[in-house]
Structure 1
């Protein structure tokens, strides 16, 4: 099983590229499901096919579905919430407090992600391609399993009911699925504009912080090569393409060398023939599952040092990134550009104390002195 998550700023064409990738995989003989978790639900428009809340066949080996988060909330969460409220009331909380504690932020997004996992485990598909929402929503979505799991641990403590235990186990499984690079990877779609370089790096930093692998960047809507353009618009088109080439060069200089490219179409691509044409340009002779060759690096790597250890945290950082690092018991609290995560220290490093930290092009390097107490 493979899961490909497509995300990017709103309006960059991620839905079209997700649909094109799904169509290409099916054309190569892989049974594929394309899933939309984007509230805009434009996936059906890209296929030119009416979609609902249950998977429907678009073509041989290709199916698609638009997840209805509100229905999932009504049918799934309300029942579980009632069980959690009962458990909390039985632990001595009054009804109002129990109701407040079981209002989870982002529960509709979490249930959409849960539905993706259910489809992956129970369905007949070899590959699932997910058209996620815009980048900010996707980053929040992918952080939810760990955040909600921590929330439940703080709220319930030792008062664990069967319902809480089942939910916690499910969240742990969901987090494991998202952070297994041999199964789940992200493809970041962008347009070649000046503002995208810093944003792309911030997005990659946040995904790396969550332990979620990125296997490709796609620059969409690139103006065609000038060639023999003539007429009044030729100068404008050349200027636009020159600007885009400069952005791509800046991306390469910033470390994003393997950026796939898709040219702008004069006509909106709708339907399988148009989508397959885009997939041919995007992947050429490559297997669409293979990404663009971007290496997947482990989040944490430990190396011995003369006075202890160095812990490398593979988070790509922009030059102006705001980074905060703190020790919290056996965890490191890392905040990058407002995104925070607690990362459990490897067991061998827990007796050590932090003596310094610095950043380089590959992320953070934390120095620890061995077996000298905690800092």
Structure 2
């Protein structure tokens, strides 16, 4: 997954990374493993993406297009995905209304909305795009998928769309009420099953996005003042979401740059912001614009593969504090590495089984381990590298005698 602010060169980086490995074979010892016929799939989610033109192929929404023997391009169209899914869902609603002997408030009105009338449903389009990416990832057709997430207002809002939709579904129509409705009115079973399927897909997509064994996150920033300002905030959001960051690409861009000393000092500061546990690569400054596949190959971007190492809140640890007592006087600490470019902007809250963490204006729910779900937050501290949140058992929920 390749992300970054607009204009940083995300599309070029993703396309070059897909091309540079699309023809490679794996080798292990004396035995080589042949790659499948369809080796790499490059996915774009921007309807105005220039990738098809750069690769010299026609853009065909929602259908993989062969670029070479080993590389295919899939351009996803959000509106097409939304219309197809809505048509399927309203077919279920229509059948439910037709079979029901009693009036179902609101269901008939929703079923009457035509797919062509839809222009946008906030968050749903992002979920459908992520679900299509998930479907390609588990299809067994591709050894490797590169996702170009450029063209999005906020790539992190895109990545968490599935979890937001799941929360909305379960607040508007909680699962226990869906099951009760299906038990009381068998005609509702098909509708509740459809909603449950969407909810399961949301959970599945959320787990995939944060799985360090399956997904590697790559952040692209420019080697300029804007990139230097944006990178700490991007890294802080990566931490709180628990995304498996594998590399940061510093793009020097096209055309004349700044003085060599100024560029070098800025790159040093960018590298220092990343740290030693994430790979950093520099994309050289080019004299001519990248307008064809040959120049993309020449750029030679390498995208490190997933390594299975959890990151940020995905690697959170729970320990029992030494200054706590026993029973309901115990103190538990939840800790993870968290960058905070603006420590004063850190906010914590609680919603059910989630700890709501706000970093740099971005709020993300961190699911609490089971032992902490029966606790209350008492305080938090940040030592410059690690965020620690302290909890104490809630007497009303804590098992007696423990």
From the superposition, tell whether residues 273 and 368 of structure 1 become closer, same or farther in structure 2 (CA, over 3 Å): same
Question: Pick from 89, 94, 105: which aligns with 1:92?
Answer: 105
For the residues of structure 2 that align with 1:240 and 1:291, how far apart are their CA atoms? 36
Secondary structure of the residue aligned to 1:59 is coil
CA distance in 2, matches of 1:272, 1:223: 16
Look up the match of 2:295.
Answer: 274
> Structure 1 regions of 5+ residues with no counterpart?
225-235
Q: CA deviation at 1:182?
A: 0.9
Deviation at 1:254, TM superposition (A): 2.7
| Counterparts in 2 of 1:134 and 1:213: CA distance versus 1, 3 Å | farther
Q: Which stretch shows the higher mean deviation, 347-356 or 83-92?
A: 83-92
Q: What secondary structure, in the 3-state scheme, does the structure 2 residue paired with 1:341 have?
A: strand
Worse-superposed segment, 192-201 or 86-95: 86-95
Q: Offset at 1:204?
A: 2.3
Measured in 2, the distance between the counterparts of 1:72 and 1:342 equals: 27
> Hey, what does 1:318 align to over in structure 2?
341
Pairwise CA distance, 1:134: 4.2
The answer as to 2:304 corresponding to 1:289 is: yes
The two structures have a TM-score, normalised by structure 2, of 0.78
- Indicate the RMSD between aligned Cα atoms, in angstroms: 3.1
Contact 1:12 1:189 in 2 (8 A): yes
Give 2:262's aligned residue. 243
**Length, aligned pairs only:** 352
CA distance in 2, matches of 1:98, 1:321: 48
**Aligned partners of 1:317, 1:209: CA distance in 2, in Å?**
10
Cα distance change on mapping 1:292 and 1:265 into 2, 3 Å? farther
CA contact (8 A) 1:191 1:221 kept: yes
Question: What is the alpha-carbon distance in structure 2 between the residues aligned to residue 48 and residue 200 of structure 1?
Answer: 32
- Structure 1 residues 294 and 188: CA distance shift in structure 2, 3 A: farther
Deviations 1:60-112 (A, max 9, x none): 21111211222112212333256468879965347568989x98413222222
Give the TM-score taking structure 1 as reference length.
Answer: 0.83
Partner in structure 1 of residue 284 of structure 2: 263
* 1:261 to partner: Cα distance: 0.1
Alignment-derived partner of residue 78 in structure 1: 87
Task: State the alpha-carbon separation in 1 of the partners of residues 60 and 138 from structure 2.
Answer: 20
Query: Does the CA contact (< 8 Å) of 1:149 and 1:171 recur in 2?
Result: yes
Alignment match of 2:233 (pick from 199, 202, 207): 202
Counterpart of 1:336 in structure 2 is 359
Structure 1 residue 9 and structure 2 residue 23: aligned? no
Task: Name the SS of the counterpart of 1:326 in structure 2.
Answer: strand
Q: Deviations over 1:264-299 (max 9, x none)?
A: 2112224343222211xx44xxxx334799984534
Q: How does 1:168-187 map to 2 (within 5 A)?
A: 168-187=199-218
Instruction: Please identify the structure whose Cα radius of gyration is greater.
Output: 2
